[in-house]
Structure 1
Amino acid sequence: MSFAQFIQDAWNRQAKWLIVLRPLSWIYRGGFLLNKKLYQCGVKASYQSPVPVMVIGNITVGGSGKTPLLIQLVNYLQSQNVRVGVISRGYGGKGPFPAYVDLESLPEIVGDEPCLIVQSTGVPMVVGSNRQRSIEYLLSKHELDLIISDDGLQHWALARQIEWIVLDQNRGLGNQKLLPEGYLREPPSRLTTATVIEHASQPNSELNMHLEVAAPYLLNDAEDERSFNPADNFYAVVGIGFPQRFYSTLDSMGIHQFQCHEFPDHYDYEITDLQFEDNNPIITTEKDAVKLLPLLKQNPNFKREIWVVPVEAELSPQCYDVLHQQLQQLGIPIS
């Protein structure tokens, strides 16, 4: 088990030994608040985009459902004739940055989530750590009404007009401690300053979302291709921030026989990671599939079935009502 997986497991269990990390959390809190104050006071300058910016992020480390939400919002905005573009840090990508993301982009260059976003929406997208350069590059190629920043909630160098925070009910706020004692990037009070979307199957808030699961599809052309059978014995191969959500999804689909093979978030797979002693199929997420497909093309003799479970974010009607109000305040026409 890697250290990242070890600490993630400790956070999820709210292990008591995490208290020894409290001094580091104090240092993190002090540095974070000082940096934020410097931007608020104007000592450090924030970039003001000529096009309104909407940030979609979270205050926790690990998966919250942010990417499916972003994909759903982009598809919706496109259907409403809003000219939308996306920027992202491109975490896991090697660059060079800023990099334009299209259907031919490789996850090793631009990151796995940007590839998934563009494949799902066709949205104009640029990635790179310098958000100003990314926006300028994006606007040099497209006329846009709105730019969505994938993550970047704590990136104060970028001014924004709308903030949506995704809060996963399954994980909650853990022990409510900042990094590294807990998995919070910001104090819980941050939730009072933005639009909070609760990710839950039984939500407490009117502003909520859940993930709808579609039929699994086969990623590769395996020998003796057959229909999906939930009774099979699977290898669940995942490299995401909160793999327990995927296991719960499998269980809800009637898939109860699987061995868990977890890797760090944004993991760069090797073909040996997919090799096991028997021929049982693999089952994985769409985010992982983005990384696995190029690997399969490099290894055409690999014939084990790899099944992908697609999910789609379903937002409550109130989410769209709030979105319309926020866009109207910014003068962005919506159909």
Structure 2
Amino acid sequence: MNTTTASTRGAGRQPPGYWYGDAPVPLSARWLSALYAGVTSLRRRCYLRGWMRPRHPGVPVIVIGNITAGGAGKTPLTMALVERLRAEGWTPGVASRGYGRDQAALALWIEADTDPLLAGDEPLLLARRTGVALRVDSDRAAAAQALADAGCDVVVCDDGLQHYRLARDIEIEVIDGRRRYGNGQLLPAGPLREPPARGSQCDFRVVNGGEGGFGEWTMRLHAGQAVPLAGGRSRPLASFAGQRVHAVAGIGDPERFFAMLRGVGIAVVPHAFADHHRYSAADFAFGSRLPVLMTEKDAVKCAGLGLESSFSIPVSAELPEAFWVALLDRLRSKYPASRASSGATSR
């Protein structure tokens, strides 16, 4: 099997070639993009001018998101933020929509053993890695209020930059360092949910991979040990160096995962799936019995498929200490009377 061409077996829809390439944008997409721009601009203006009122839970709210469609590294940053807030004495909670889950209208507390079809892959991963109080709800403002009522003294909203119903104190934009804003056009002509100027209005801009520009903070993702899905001892990722493996990624940018594996000398047979893909055993009928390495986000949905020689590769986010100092200073400046260690917060 070709080790450089991604398999499309079981793959869902991938971004159009003109989003991140030089292909011409269809006229129909340009017209729809103009309509989308008008609707989203009107919606945001309604909140900015007070015609529609956002809700605030009464404790600090930090929103992590991006202005492009698809993943950019928000979940690793959310995990890192939760752990840093805890280390500083806060009691964080995470509010999430839980994209792609069954019964999307059902508000739910997520535990480590929640069914992934009900939780959503990213919320379940967050719950398992951090044990944080986590509420999924299509109304993130309601989720934030539930977290505050449950005793959380700061709410982190995962992928909520465009959810203006939830009032926020700090906004963090996450940018894919490799693909950036693509062709710079709004959906569906390009990958943008909002115009590029929206990103400059965020308090912090974090670049995942590559080098950050002026006013941007660079985030690096580091792979942990390979964890076998069938149980047993973990092994160093470098132990696969020099071997061919099937690499599975159903994330916003699968190539980021494949490049990480190649970076430690692994010969990758790539299998790219759509973001939030629901796996079945048939998706892993690759025709050769090589080890299978997959992202941790994919692995939470594959534990019950009976996959042998399959491994989950967790990643952790690393950011400059100066980023954390600046973020925590901003948080304290907005809530100077907060006592994180006691959970008491005043506005």
Taking structure 2 as the reference length, the TM-score comes to 0.87
1:259 maps to which of 253, 266, 269: 269
Bigger share in helix = 1
**1:127 counterpart = 2:136:** yes
Note the C-alpha offset of 1:9.
Answer: 4.2
Between stretches 84-93 and 274-283, larger displacement belongs to 274-283
Equivalent position to 1:164, from 157, 169, 172: 172
Residue 216 in structure 1 maps to residue 226 in structure 2: yes
SS in 1 for 2:15: helix
Distance change (3 Å), C-alpha of 1:226 and 1:305: farther
8 Å contact from structure 2 (residues 11, 274) kept in 1 = no
165, 183, 188: which one aligns with 2:191: 183
Give 3-state SS (helix, strand or coil) of 1:241's partner. coil
CA distance in 2, matches of 1:334, 1:15: 51
Deviations 1:128-186 (A, max 9, x none): 1012321233233x212210100110111111111000112111111111111110111
Please tell me the root mean square deviation across aligned C-alpha atoms, in Å: 2.2
Q: Which residue of 2 aligns with 1:107?
A: 116
Alpha-carbon deviation of 1:120?
A: 1.0
Q: Does 1:312 align with 2:321?
A: no
Q: How far apart in 2 are the matches of 1:226 and 1:122?
A: 24
Amino acid at match of 1:271: A
Aligned 8 A contact 1:25 1:178 in 2? yes
- Counterpart Cα distance in 1 of 2:16 and 2:77: 23
Instruction: Please tell me whether the aligned partners of residues 327 and 333 of structure 1 are also in contact (alpha carbons under 8 angstroms).
Output: no
Residues 62-81 of structure 1 mapped to structure 2, 5 A cutoff: 62-81=70-89
The answer as to 2:331 corresponding to 1:321 is no
User: Counterpart of 2:251?
Assistant: 240
Is contact 2:147-2:155 (8 Å) kept?
no
1:281 Cα deviation from its structure 2 partner: 1.5
Aligned-residue identity in percent: 35
Match for 1:113: what amino acid?
Answer: E
SS in 1 for 2:155: strand
* Residue identity matched to 2:137: G
The TM-score, its normalising length taken from structure 1, stands at 0.90
- Post-superposition shift, 1:8? 4.3
- Check 1:24–1:81 CA distance in 2 against 1; reply closer, same or farther (3 A cut): same
Q: Find the aligned partners of 1:312 and 1:286 in 2 and give their Cα distance.
A: 11
In the other structure, the counterpart of 2:154 is: 146
Residue pair 1:59, 1:184 contacting (<8 A) in 2 also: yes
In the alignment, what sits opposite 1:91?
99
For residues 9-88 of structure 1, what are the structure 2 equivalents within 5 Å?
Answer: 9-18=17-26, 20-88=28-96
Q: How many Å apart are 1:94 and its aligned residue?
A: 1.2
C-alpha distance 6-136 of structure 1, shift in aligned 2 (>3 A): closer
Give the match for residue 275 of structure 1.
Answer: 285
For residue 287 of structure 1, the aligned residue among 285, 297, 300 is 297
Give the letter for the 2:315 counterpart: V
SS at match of 1:313: strand
Q: Which runs of 5+ in 2 are unaligned?
A: 1-7, 342-347
- In the superposition, relative to structure 1, how do residues 263 and 200 fare at CA in structure 2: closer, same or farther (>3 Å)? closer
Match of 1:116 among 115, 125, 131: 125
Structure 1 CA distance, aligned partners of 2:272 and 2:236?
26
- Quote how far apart the aligned CAs of 1:230 are: 2.4
Q: Structure 1: how far apart are the matches of 2:310 and 2:340?
A: 40
Q: Gaps spanning 5+ residues in structure 1: where?
A: none
**1:286 Cα deviation from its structure 2 partner:** 0.6
- Structure 1: distance between partners of 2:27 and 2:180: 19
